[in-house]
Structure 1
Amino acid sequence: MTDAEPSTTVVVVTWRGAAHVTACLDALAAQSRPHRTLVVDNASDDGTAALLAAHPSKPEVLRLRRNTGYAGAMAAALAKVDTPLMAWLNDDAVPAPEWLATCEDTLAEAPLAAAVSARLTLADGTVQSTGVRLTADGHGADLPNADGEIFGFCGGAALLNAEALRSVGGIPASYFCYYEDTDTAWRLRLAGWDVVRAAADVTHRHGASTRPGSVRFHLWNERNRLLTLVRCAPSEMAVRQLVKFAALTLVLPLRGKPAAPNFRLSLRCRVLAAVVVRLPRTLVERRAIGRRAALGRGAVWEAWAGI
């Protein structure tokens, strides 16, 4: 690769993104660092395809035959990435002109790191995420402050070493969306890689394609958290959280009307059913992750859970 060739393929996943994808592409066209732009269109039916074809930056487009979610689209894109680095970017995100340059430089200055998390800010100026922490019960949670180290990256705007990503098993396409970033960061940590944050600014519309708080949001979020624990956490922690989730679900009818949407009995039963169906395959994946790991699951958990 010559100096003139880009180091990064920026992957933008879109689904019915006609209302906001143009702003994202305009911001990518204004980046100070050369790059390749690959848009994965999850079978949009709202005119997105025409907007992509007409955009003056002429992005490469991979149009999928069905909606595979953020995780499925990113997994499909990884097979098309031929640069050393792969950026993840939501279609409702607008990166500042120095976003990519800052991320690339930050990664170059951290030779043990395989991923960089950008700083996502909402339209009202509120910082949404500078990275992800791992809670004591195995949730991936956005860190709005820039103090200390981060466990993982926020998939809304991040830069990854493509070869490191492939070496830990790529992206969990079956997740559809949510927790694909936490799961990926966890596997990178197990393989001995670091994840760092960068002062690389991105304005994020947040929730333009999926509605946070909806039934589907909670279904994917809760299911994928439990699957990530089975794949990556120490066995006793994964079992404990599965049992806790099931036990709480069983007593819900005795507690009256749930206070939060994710405590609806029907939703939690669907989550448990989905986890049970996927459990045999997930256990196979757990063994593969363990074979690739350079660090023990317990060591990573003790270093990061609840910090």
Structure 2
Amino acid sequence: MTSADSGTTVVVVTWRGADHLTGCLDALAAQSRPHRTVVVDNASTDGTATILAEHPSRPEVLRLRRNTGYAGAMAHVLDRIDTPRVAWLNDDAAPEPDWLATLEDALDSQPLAAAVTSRLELPDGSTQSIGVRLTADGHGADLTEPSDEVFGFCGGAALLRTEAVRAVGGVPASFFCYYEDTDTAWRLRLAGWHVAAAPKARVQHLHGASTNPGSPLFHRWNERNRLLMLLRCAPAGVAVRELARFAAITALLPLRRHRPDAANFDPALRLRVLAEVVLRLPRTLRERGRVGRISALGRGAIWEAWAGL
């Protein structure tokens, strides 16, 4: 299958995915709609390369010299996509055979939408995500109940218009992992695009097979990237408020006799997050300026329309 035969490139990012990658590739090979498959291997050392070389679907492979994270890999491959649509798919996700067809039809039917998100289901059958909402404090949170509209897409399984993503600045490679999808959705909305949901596009997701949700590293990336996303995309007052709130909670935590056990309430971790945000602040503010220049809608209008819903 060449890119000329299909309008979609499915990008699978993997890192040490030997234990679950075959299931993803098998599911892609069973899709009812033709497509191009590109696997970006983040310098795996666990036999992933052998699995990719021997899989009968013979996916295209882009092997990176170091682990650049999900965001870095997506950013790296975007310039190599020559199809009008690009799908994001986690390596621990196995879509149903009509998944891509359902997403393509949904995107084609909604010309104002730049992205369509899938229904991700956990192995026990429960719904992990049918889209992303924007909380009152600027977190991106998975929606698990049907909704007429979604703020953003879940990067675990979604379909996007390639040129729309490029036009709003691509994928934030420096995020490494987490919030690259919500940040991209923010910028698409600022540019005037919509994000749609296709709950009939079903994907079984192992969730956390490559990362460890709840770990200190997870919380470090999560907290840092939320603040960076707000500094890049949100109204200035919101971004400053949330950064100040994060700093204030961090300062007060050592004074509390009892504090939550979760890693994101560890003062040392939070101080590291603040340090990383401060070090990246000059670059982030330059990026904020670029986001402003491509925006057709005001940051405040997007925030008022979506935050807290």
Query: If the length of structure 2 is used for normalisation, what is the TM-score?
Result: 0.98
The structural deviation recorded for 1:150 is: 0.2
**Cross-structure match for 2:155:** 155
Partner Cα separation in structure 2 for residue 147 and residue 298 of structure 1: 23
Question: C-alpha displacement at 1:4, in angstroms?
Answer: 7.2
Tell me the equivalent position of 2:253.
252
1:284 to 2:277 alignment = no
Is the CA contact 2:74–2:173 (under 8 Å) kept in the aligned structure 1? yes
**Mapped pair 1:171 → 2:171:** yes
**d(CA) in 1 for partners of 2:229 and 2:87?**
22
Aligned-residue offset at 1:148: 2.2
Query: 1: distance between equivalents of 2:3 and 2:298?
Result: 39
Q: 1:63 to 1:4 in 2, by over 3 A?
A: closer
Separation in structure 1 between the aligned mates of residue 179 and residue 290 of structure 2, nearest angstrom: 19
Partner SS state of residue 43, structure 1: coil
Give, in angstroms, the shift of residue 77 of structure 1. 1.2
| 1:1-307 paired onto structure 2 within 5 Å | 5-198=5-198, 199-259=200-260, 260-307=262-309
**SS of 2:117's equivalent?**
strand
1:4 and 1:161 map into 2 onto residues whose CA distance is 16
Cα distance in 2 between the residues matched to 1:274 and 1:252: 19
Q: Give the TM-score, by structure 1 length.
A: 0.98
Determine helix, strand or coil for the equivalent of 1:107.
helix
* 8 Å CA contact retained: 2:168, 2:191: yes
Q: List 4+ stretches of structure 1 deviating above 3 A.
A: none
* C-alpha distance in structure 1 between counterparts of 2:125 and 2:226, whole Å: 29
Q: Percent identity among equivalent residues? A: 71
**C-alpha displacement of 1:168:** 0.2
CA shift, 1:258, in A, is 2.7
**Which secondary structure state, in structure 2, belongs to the residue aligned with residue 282 of structure 1?**
helix
Distance, in Å, in 2 between the alignment partners of 1:12 and 1:63 is 12
Task: Show structure 1 runs of 5+ residues with no match.
Answer: none
Query: What are the superposed Cα offsets for residues 93-152 of structure 1, whole Å, 9 maximum, x if unpaired?
Result: 000000000000000000000000000000000100000000011000000111221000
CA deviations 1:200-242 (Å, max 9, x no partner) are: 0000000000000101000000000000000000000000000
Could you say what the CA RMSD is over the residues aligned between the two structures, in angstroms? 1.1
Supply the AA of the counterpart residue of 2:27. Answer: A
SS at match of 2:289: helix
Cα separation, 2, equivalents of 1:261 and 1:292: 37
SS at match of 2:19: coil
Cα 1:255–1:140 shift into 2, 3 Å:
same
8 Å Cα contact 2:14-2:90 kept in structure 1: yes
User: Residue 211 of structure 2 contacts residue 218 of structure 2 at CA under 8 Å; is this kept in 1?
Assistant: yes
Q: CA deviation at 1:174?
A: 0.4
**Runs of at least 5 residues in structure 2 that lack an aligned partner in the other structure:** none
Number of residue equivalences:
306
- Residue 201 of structure 1 aligns to a residue whose secondary structure is strand
CA gap 1:3/1:67 in 2 versus in 1, 3 angstroms: closer
- Partners of 2:42 and 2:66 within 8 A in 1: yes
